[in-house]
Amino acid sequence: MKFTARIIADFTKGEIIGNPDEVVTDIAKIEEGKTGTLAFLANPKYEKYLYTTDASIVLINKDFQINGDLKCTVIQVDNAYDAFTSLLELYAKLTPVKKGIEQPSYINPEAKIGKDVYIGAFAYIGEGAVIGNNVKVYPQVYIGDFAEIRDNTILYPGVKVYHGCIIGMDCIIHSGTVIGADGFGFVQQPDRTYRKIPQVGNVIIEDLVEIGSNVTVDRATMGSTIIRKGAKFDNLIQIGHNVEIGENTVVVSQAGVAGSTKVGKNCMIGGQVGLAGHVKIGNDVKIGAQSGVSNNLKDGETVLGSPALDASKQIKAMIVYKSLPEMSKKLTELEKEIKELKKKL
Amino acid sequence: MKFTARIIADFTKGEIIGNPDEVVTDIAKIEEGKTGTLAFLANPKYEKYLYTTDASIVLINKDFQINGDLKCTVIQVDNAYDAFTSLLELYAKLTPVKKGIEQPSYINPEAKIGKDVYIGAFAYIGEGAVIGNNVKVYPQVYIGDFAEIRDNTILYPGVKVYHGCIIGMDCIIHSGTVIGADGFGFVQQPDRTYRKIPQVGNVIIEDLVEIGSNVTVDRATMGSTIIRKGAKFDNLIQIGHNVEIGENTVVVSQAGVAGSTKVGKNCMIGGQVGLAGHVKIGNDVKIGAQSGVSNNLKDGETVLGSPALDASKQIKAMIVYKSLPEMSKKLTELEKEIKELKKKL
Amino acid sequence: MKFTARIIADFTKGEIIGNPDEVVTDIAKIEEGKTGTLAFLANPKYEKYLYTTDASIVLINKDFQINGDLKCTVIQVDNAYDAFTSLLELYAKLTPVKKGIEQPSYINPEAKIGKDVYIGAFAYIGEGAVIGNNVKVYPQVYIGDFAEIRDNTILYPGVKVYHGCIIGMDCIIHSGTVIGADGFGFVQQPDRTYRKIPQVGNVIIEDLVEIGSNVTVDRATMGSTIIRKGAKFDNLIQIGHNVEIGENTVVVSQAGVAGSTKVGKNCMIGGQVGLAGHVKIGNDVKIGAQSGVSNNLKDGETVLGSPALDASKQIKAMIVYKSLPEMSKKLTELEKEIKELKKKL
């Protein structure tokens, strides 16, 4: 990329303070800015960097008061963070887009392939699989028989989609993620061995879902494991069979959701959280990192800890927990004092 | 699939109440049943669905008392759950079985390949590797030099088996699982850097083991990391070097077992559990989800929490923990009262 | 391998007690030693095995006092553990080294490939990628456009390196690990949906780093996620965007480090630990297994628990925690006694 301050100001509808011909070729955080980079200032906490950064151009909010000498060229915009995100999007789009079918790849003659797709080398597309328009199937991806990948979705290298699973439009799935492996279902036999319950359902991922790397989403025993529209998953997450995750729910890294649990919409599930099986979580629920939840939660609850409690109660209990050794000592002292009081009476 | 009630009754040795010519083409949970599906009722909790389900046929236990009007055809069997599982197995077997060697795949001329195998495109089989009869090696699987995969085992897409590891008969390993990567062994040097201890052992997985997706089982430093017959692993589990997991032991998602720990047979290890290294866990031990275990456990123990305690003790402590803020307040009040009592004396 | 005691004594500068022509063909732990194996004794706890092992040759420390009859040949060396590690290294080197370019593999014509490399079948090397000398790219590895893999590094089967990431010299990365997938960055919109923040940075892994299997290291939003020289990672670890891990820091299995957190050098991060985002961890910090850290930690701190406390404080609190039910009972009793005392006054 190579942009002048003038071009950036035009694109972001901003006003330039400084040199309109200043050139940037890369982007940076304001605290790591180097000559030739573009940065932004949105959080007032970082104001000091505005006067010291080596970044050549900095985007700031229109209503921000400049209180020092500037080394850099500044562009004033309505919302520096949004303007910067738009520029990041523009920058990301400048990466040449993958197109065409690389060889060797394996496309079953009974698969249906849409228009303008990218299919990387060593990708495998099974019998009856359906690939939409503008889909990007990176190298070493596996798409099982009768699976369906809808328009504009990106599957990064090494994603595995088992047979019969459906991935919606405009999804992004990162490397190493496995969609549709068997759910964990066994029946113990009288001799203590386990008999496998065949897992004959599938996984349905709706539109606009993003899933990180090395995630596992198991297929349903019967019916479907469902990830609703707009949900966002970080890395190394486990989703058990017949789970349902609601719209726009965010799940942070290394969290796990056990079988048949239903999570509502607009929830935030923190890192390393565990949700037990067959639990119902409402909408707008927030679950703090490393929590363990084995009960239903109502709309709007915020919980924390393992086992999880209402967050404000948990925080109070955590504070007292720290002073347990002092409490225990005090209790022993009081015991003695009471004994002595009793003697005196 | 397409079955009539009559055929299902014959197969399950059941008796029909309703239309013997009723047809089903899919299976469903009773609460999600649609016209044309087969469901079952085993848990009395779900009885109400028997009278409202849209499923066309429902399997029920012979001794179940019907207390309402039926819309569906019912088949009475000895054990509805077992009968349904048998039907699921039948259904699963109807999926056409993969056979033959797809191209391009890489089979080292020094590898030995059994009869009736499936080897998918982009699978890699190294020098001296041995593949048994009826083995299914899905696309993009890697089998290292001198590794051995015994009869009837299924390796799903992208499984990696390092050199010299042995996988028994009738095993199932899901996508992305890595068998036999180096154990985590280093010696700190005087300059604070680490010297790698070569990991020259292997992994041995016995017969009838199922392992979920994106699991990691490390090879032994010397000797073998061993997963005994009939053990069942969920997804994203970590098994360290020189670990041994006993027969029919079940390990739930995201649990981790550190190096040299030995787990007995018929154990249940919950989700996100951590077992420290060099620990010995007896037989029939149950470890609750998210527990942390750093001590040996005897046969039959049930533990919970991090650090893990006997489950009944842990549950009592957890209950008191919730009321810590009240306890702390009460303690402060008692302190005051005692002070006043002392003054009065 | 096939070595006599004489050859091993020469190599380790040791002295033989027993038969200099004793032959070993494999190595073993002393407690698992069989005829024809070489073992070592460093930890005095294992002394009893010296007199009972079936190992043919055992390395022991020069200053170790033999207090029993030996069945095996013994070699006395300065440091049995170091000598044994050197022999393990020798043994590991005897494995024939992979060389050459297997077919089919995909090497973009614009990629630069060094000397004496191994590129396995179904490996993918993108446009502008740079592969150093003696690099080993195992089968099914993906190296994105403009990524760089420096001299002597080993990428085991199925490793994925996204575009523009840099991996230093003498690194080892195990199967299924994903380097450079998008960081988890979204901005919530007024309608509750999330807008993706493009992740335009990269990952830089310095020299001599070892990373286990199925690890995920996300690329930076801007700038770089950095793993410093000599750091060692176990399996299934999550490293968020813009994280920095210091030199020689060790991270144990299933730990997670959230975005923008900086960890110093020579730290030990235990298994299943979670570090919150935007936290600063000093040098020489030790974090116990399953801890949760959301505050900065100073050089040399040792912490434990979730939330993490100074380890000695945490251990004291954990001890009292176990007796919470007794404490609660005692408190209730004291309350009663005080009530009665009050009545009497």
- Burial class of residue C138 in the structure, from the number of CB atoms within 10 Å of its CB (0-12 exposed, 13-18 middle, 19+ buried): buried
Q: How far apart are CA A282 and CA A301, in angstroms?
A: 8
pLDDT (tens digit per residue) in A141-152: 999 999 999 999
Q: Is the predicted pLDDT of residue C95 greater than 80, yes or no?
A: no
Mean pLDDT confidence for B12-36: 93
**Active site residue ranges of A:** 241
Q: Which residue has the higher pLDDT, A213 or A342?
A: A213
Nearest to C291 by CA among C235, C252, C245, C321: C252
* Mean predicted lDDT score pLDDT of chain B: 95
Q: What is the C-alpha to C-alpha distance for residues A209 and B249, in angstroms, rounded to an integer?
A: 35
Q: Do A274 and B290 touch (CB under 8 A)?
A: yes
Q: Which residues of B touch A236 (CB under 8 A)?
A: 214, 236
Structure tokens at B338: 């005692």
Q: What is the pLDDT of residues A58-68, one digit of tens each?
A: 999 999 999 99
Q: Which of B27, B156, B318 sits opposite A307 (nearest CB)?
A: B318
Q: Nearest CB to C142: which of A158, A232, A236? A: A158
Distance to chain A for B89, nearest Cα, Å: 6
Provide, as residue numbers in chain B, all residues whose Cβ is less than 8 Å from the Cβ of C92. Answer: 198, 200
Q: Which of B92, B175, B290 sits opposite A181 (nearest CB)?
A: B175
Identify the pLDDT of residue A44: 87
Question: Which member of B181, B187, B338 has the closest CB to residue C174?
Answer: B181
- B130's tokens: 């041995």
Name the minimum distance, in Å, from the CA of C301 to any CA of chain A: 17
The reported pLDDT for the residue numbered A342 is 85
Contact (CB<8Å) A253/C337: no
Taking the C-alpha atoms of residue C198 and residue A234, their distance in angstroms, rounded to an integer, is 15
Confidence band (pLDDT; 50, 70, 90) for B226?
very high
- CB pair distance less than 8 Å for A91 and C323: no
Q: Do A140 and B138 touch (CB under 8 A)?
A: no
Residue B96, pLDDT score: 81
Please say if C241 is a catalytic residue.
yes
Residues of A in contact with C317 (CB under 8 A): 321-322, 324-325
Over residues C240-248, the mean pLDDT reads 98
User: pLDDT class for B274, splitting at 50, 70, 90?
Assistant: very high
- Beta carbons of B324 and A321 less than 8 angstroms apart: yes
Query: For residue C44, what pLDDT is reported?
Result: 87
For residue A200, what is the nearest residue in chain B, using CA coordinates? B92
d(CA C293, CA C270): 12
Lowest mean pLDDT segment, chosen from A108-122, B70-84, B155-169, C259-273: B70-84
Cβ-defined contact of C106 to A121 (cutoff 8 Å): yes
pTM value is 0.95
Average pLDDT, chain A: 95
Which residue does chain B place closest to C105, by CA atoms?
A: B122
Q: Does the interface ipTM go beyond 0.90?
A: yes
Q: Which of B91, B212, B341 sits opposite A216 (nearest CB)?
A: B212
What is d(CA B271, CA A256) in angstroms, rounded to the nearest whole number?
A: 8
Angle between the B311-322 and C324-344 helix axes, to the nearest 10 degrees?
A: 50
A155-159, A280-284, B61-65, C258-262, range with the lowest pLDDT: B61-65
Say which residue the tokens 């070592």 belong to. Answer: C40
Spatial neighbors of A186 by CB under 8 A, at least 6 apart, are A194, A195, A196, A197, B232, B250
Q: Distance, in angstroms, between C184 CA and closest chain A CA?
A: 6
Return the percentage of chain A with pLDDT > 90, whole number: 90
- Residue A109 makes CB contacts below 8 A (sequence gap 6+) with none
Inspect the interface and report whether the beta carbons of A106 and B88 lie closer than 8 Å: no
Select from A105, A156, A200 the residue whose CB has the most chain B CBs within 10 Å, as the one to mutate to test that interface: A200
Suggest the residue from B102, B146, B195, B222 to mutate for an interface test with chain C (most C CBs closer than 10 A). B222
With contacts defined as CB-CB under 8 Å, which chain B residues touch C342? 337, 341
Are the CB atoms for A114 and A95 separated by under 8 Å?
no
Phi, psi of C311, deg, nearest 5: -60, -40
DSSP state of B218: E
- Determine the average pLDDT of the residues in C247-268: 98
pLDDT at residue C1 greater than cutoff 90: no
* Subunits with 3+ C-beta pairs closer than 8 A to B: A, C
Closest residue on chain A to B104 (Cα): A104
What residues of A are in contact with residue B271 (Cβ under 8 Å)? 238, 256, 258, 274
What strand order describes the sheet that includes B15-17? B15-17, B73-77, B57-61, B37-41, B26-27
Residues of C within 8 A of B276 (CB-CB) are 289
How far apart CA B28 and CA B84 sit, in angstroms, is 11
Say if the Cβ atoms of B327 and C328 lie within 8 Å.
yes
Q: Sorting pLDDT into bands at 50, 70 and 90, what band is A325?
A: very high
To the nearest whole angstrom, how far is the Cα of A203 from the nearest Cα of chain B? Answer: 15
pLDDT digits (tens, 9 = 90+) for B138-187: 999 999 999 999 999 999 999 999 999 999 999 999 999 999 999 999 99
Mean pLDDT of A69-73: 94
Neighboring chain A residues of B85 at a CB cutoff of 8 Å:
187, 195, 197-198
How sure is the predictor about B341, in pLDDT bands with cuts at 50, 70 and 90?
confident
Of A294 and A340, the one with more pLDDT? A294
Percent of chain A with pLDDT over 70: 100
Round to whole Å and give the CA distance between B217 and B225.
8
pLDDT in tens, C186-201: 999 999 999 999 999 9
Shortest distance, CA C185 to any CA of chain A (angstroms): 9
pLDDT at B160: 98
Q: Chain C partners of A138 at a C-beta cutoff of 8 Å?
A: 142
How far apart are alpha carbons C238 and A174 in whole angstroms?
Answer: 14
pLDDT value at A284 more than 90: yes
Per residue in A181-193, pLDDT tens? Answer: 999 999 999 999 9
Please judge whether C271 and B256 are an interchain contact, meaning their C-beta atoms are less than 8 angstroms apart.
yes
pLDDT of residue B159: 98
Catalytic one among B163, B174, B241, B278? Answer: B241
Confidence of residue A91 (pLDDT cuts 50, 70, 90): confident
Residue B155 pairs in a beta bridge with B137, B173
pLDDT score recorded for residue C157: 98
Percent above pLDDT 90 for chain C: 89
| Bridge partners for B269 per DSSP | B251, B287
Region A99-114: mean pLDDT is: 97
Tens-place pLDDT, residues A28-39: 999 989 999 999
Residue of B25, B118, B272, B338 to mutate for A, most A C-beta atoms under 10 A = B272
Q: Which residue of A has its CA nearest to B321?
A: A317
Q: Write down the pLDDT at residue A2.
A: 85
Report d(CA B116, CA B137) in Å as an integer: 11
What are C117-166's pLDDT values in tens digits?
999 999 999 999 999 999 999 999 999 999 999 999 999 999 999 999 99
What is the C-alpha to C-alpha distance for residues B312 and B290, in angstroms, rounded to an integer? Answer: 16
Compute the distance between CA of residue A266 and CA of residue C291 in angstroms, rounded to an integer: 28
